[in-house]
Amino acid sequence: MSLAVGWQAIGIYPRLGEEYWRPEYAAAWVELDLLNAIAQHNIVENALHRLDGRRAAREQYARLLEQFEELLAGPEEPRHQFLKASPGLLCATHDAVWSKIPFGKHVSDFVFREPCNDYLLVEIEAPYRELFRKDGHPRHEVTHAISQIEDWLSYIRKDTARVEREVGLRGISATPRTLVVIGRSASLMEDNRQKLATMMGEHPRLSIMTYDELIYRARANLERHFGPLSLRAQNLDIYYYRHDPAATT
């Protein structure tokens, strides 16, 4: 509370005799007041943390998504290194990840191994790339990315045993899942989205998504586990309570 007076703070004390009002007591009173305030704060904080044990993780992932969005306007390498350090944004269900894996003359951006030895091969293109021309046809960057993935798959199909042995992708099938991340959603019209769906239908186990869709999916997955990441306020801590039926006895 801000008061229109000259003091920075006002302390209210109980009615005491004059013998207690001595300057040498001031430091001890201040220390007791501070320790009491800290103790009360910690009691409330601990109680709130018991209600919302996911708060720290939620704040961490919210910052992570913000940092990634900021990198979309910059050069490619920092973005690649960011995804290398935070691979869960690309594949939340992986149990192993490799960066820059060669398939013959071509190099993948990322390879993820999921449970049951299902693999995901990822090609990362620039966020500023547009996916379609004005006449509705896919741009070269999109067709090139798909062609790149087809080259990887062709190499794997020709000698799966060699890929398992030399590259270390044990148990990989000849038809792993594939993903292309390219462009931004704002550049897509409804007919573009329909064309994308047709293109993905022509290539089994291929997904094409924009960076906005990637962030949206990562956010949705994280919020299922930790609660809403978008709750923010200035000068205020927000806790999110979610009843866990499994914890009910």
More confident residue, 12 or 167: 167
Model confidence band, residue 41 (pLDDT cutoffs 50, 70, 90) = confident
Summary mean pLDDT of the chain: 85
Write down the architecture of domain 55-226 according to CATH: 3-Layer(aba) Sandwich (3.40)
147 in Cβ contact with 133 (< 8 Å): no
162-175 b/e (C-beta count within 10 Å ≥ 16 → b): ebeeebebeebeee
Residue from 200, 202, 205 nearest 114 by CA: 205
10 in Cβ contact with 3 (< 8 Å): yes
pLDDT, tens only, 111-144: 999 888 889 999 999 999 899 999 999 999 999 9
178-201 b/e (C-beta count within 10 Å ≥ 16 → b): bbbbbbbeeebeeeeeebbeebbe
User: How far apart are the C-alpha atoms of 130 and 145, rounded to whole Å?
Assistant: 13
Q: Is the pLDDT of residue 165 over 70?
A: yes
Place of tokens 């390219």: 182
Whole-number pLDDT of residue 249? 44
Q: How many CA atoms does the CB half-sphere of 208 hold within 13 Å?
A: 31
- Partner residues linked to 119 by β-bridges: 113
Domain assignments of the chain as residue spans, ordered by start: 55-226
Residue from 239, 227, 236, 188 nearest 210 by CA: 188
192 in Cβ contact with 132 (< 8 Å): yes
What's the first-to-final CA gap in the chain, in angstroms? 44
Global pTM exceeds 0.85: no
Q: Which residues contact 212 (CB under 8 A, 6 or more apart)?
A: 184, 185, 186
Q: Is the dihedral of CA 218, 220, 223, 224 positive or negative?
A: negative
- Partner residues linked to 99 by β-bridges: 110
